[in-house]
């Protein structure tokens, strides 16, 4: 099961990257139906099939590149679901001593819910709340897969580090803050507000006078949410909140890394503290680059991937701090 868990982690990271790429290339509705694409298992490629698809969906003519972006993401997500079914089957029918059971079952339920969110993303025309929940669901799946992998991995914590357990609640708080920040980023992206502020450190102009929190965290009535439906003030507020969240999370995780480094007696915890600092630095640099270079596709996609990596580092730190010898 451990090998399947590792393969699933790698595949889940690919799915997260593909999901970000799909969203950033405006391909979330590249296929206007679900689970197929214009009624096909794959993307319509011949002129006859394209003409038929256009006739069936006149409001959404076929754009082959966007359709492939969407379908490749669906294929990868389906493969991940298959891997998790195998993991759950192994947990149920080939049980070994101390092998986790509840976590694989939760993963199976979670990936089914993710499939439903993927469907609603399309059928509800990119409703921001669903898009954000789909993002958070992906991060939940990869975190649980990583936790499963850690539980299946035999290693011990030196007794000299048992005093570090008192730091574990602070690591949990770090995960909570990071998840909130990821949610803010997902909300900003789902509402196409990533370029609402184009200057550093917060926003340009008299942004303090234009904040609208009620509007920023509401969902206006619309038939289609592609390219966003909020006015500028709402999108600017979303973006500003994401930046403030980045400042708070960065400051907190830097403090946590320094605390872990100064108090740990083992090389493992110290290495994890350094790893967290390095990944955090990369993530901050990517966030700044998104602003300076106006959201380049590669940088914006990596911003999602590195966020997932940072969350996994936090999961490992928390797991080790709570784990007994």
Catalytic residue IDs: 70
Nearest Cα neighbor of 32 from 229, 190, 186, 224 is 224
Longest dimension (CA), the chain: 70
For residue 318, CA distances in Å to 12, 161, 260, 288, 324 come to 21, 13, 11, 28, 12
d(CA 64, CA 123): 20
Quick check: helix, strand or coil at residue 2?
Answer: helix
Q: Collect all residues with Cβ–Cβ distance below 8 Å to 136 and sequence separation of at least 6.
A: 179, 182, 183, 186
- Confirm if 19 and 131 have CB atoms less than 8 A apart: no
- List, in sequence order, the alpha helices (H) in the chain: 2-24, 47-56, 64-93, 102-123, 128-151, 168-190, 213-216, 232-263, 267-292, 297-322
d(CA 242, CA 319): 27
d(CA 267, CA 320): 13
Judging by beta carbons within 10 Å of its beta carbon (0-12, 13-18, 19+), is residue 165 exposed, middle or buried?
Answer: middle
Tokens of 224: 């289609």
d(CA 9, CA 15): 10
């Amino acid at each position: 099961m451990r090998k399947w868990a590792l393969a699933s982690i790698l595949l889940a990271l690919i799915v997260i990257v593909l999901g970000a790429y799909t969203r950033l290339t405006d391909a979330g509705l590249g296929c206007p139906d679900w689970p197929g694409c214009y009624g096909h298992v794959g993307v319509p490629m011949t002129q006859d099939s394209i003409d038929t698809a256009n006739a069936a969906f006149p409001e959404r003519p076929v754009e082959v590149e966007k359709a492939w972006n969407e379908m490749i993401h669906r294929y990868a997500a389906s493969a991940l679901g298959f891997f998790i079914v195998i993991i759950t089957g192994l947990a149920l029918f080939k049980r070994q001593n101390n092998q986790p059971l509840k976590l694989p079952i939760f993963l199976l339920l979670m990936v089914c819910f993710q499939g439903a969110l993927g469907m609603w993303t399309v059928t509800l025309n990119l409703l921001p709340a669903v898009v954000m929940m789909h993002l958070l669901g992906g991060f939940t799946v990869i975190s649980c897969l990583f936790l499963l992998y850690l539980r299946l991995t035999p290693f011990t914590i030196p007794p000299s580090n048992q005093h570090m357990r008192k730091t574990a609640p602070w690591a949990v708080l770090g995960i909570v803050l990071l998840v909130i920040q990821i949610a803010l980023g997902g909300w900003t992206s789902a509402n196409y507000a990533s370029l609402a502020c184009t200057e550093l450190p917060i926003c340009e102009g008299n942004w303090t006078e234009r904040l609208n929190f009620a509007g920023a965290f509401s969902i206006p009535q619309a038939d289609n949410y592609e390219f966003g439906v909020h006015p500028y003030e709402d999108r600017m507020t979303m973006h500003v909140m994401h930046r403030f969240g980045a400042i708070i999370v960065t400051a907190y995780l830097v403090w946590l890394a320094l605390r872990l480094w100064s108090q740990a007696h083992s090389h493992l915890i110290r290495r994890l503290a350094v790893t967290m600092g390095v990944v955090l630095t990369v993530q901050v640099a990517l966030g700044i680059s998104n602003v300076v270079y106006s959201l380049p596709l590669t940088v914006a996609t990596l911003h999602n991937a590195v966020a997932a990596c940072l969350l996994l580092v936090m999961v490992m730190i928390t797991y080790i701090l709570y784990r007994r010898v």
